[in-house]
Amino acid sequence: MTYEELMQKAVEASKNSYSPYSKFAVGACVMCKDGSVYTGCNFENSSFGMTICAERNAIGTAIAEGKRNIKAVAIYSPNQQNCAPCGACRQVIHEFCDNDEDVDIILQNGEELKIYTLAQLLPESFNL
């Protein structure tokens, strides 16, 4: 699947966002190394700490299907260009990849895609 197709799936997922408090919709599409893809959207809760980001939602779905090896994550918000993952999502992505240099984070910048490696967005990551 191309990165453009992953982004289109993230765009579609953002339409299902439940974000009545922030009004900040986000969609994500995770591609695993085997080519399987999983989407997610953010969903909020009036107890703000219970809010789940789109990226973690998509990764959780992949995990529920037995997948543990992320290759790429496309993230989209109609509210902001280059909507990058938060720190918590960066760490969760790190948990489910072999090498941060091998994971692409795909962001929408107008009509163009902007691609970073996870290593660029999460330098000096840690493992237990």
Of these residues, 55, 65, 101, 124, which one is catalytic? 55
Confirm if 25 and 42 have CB atoms less than 8 A apart.
yes
Confirm if 102 and 45 have CB atoms less than 8 A apart.
no
Determine whether 55 is an active site residue: yes
Q: Which residues are catalytic?
A: 55
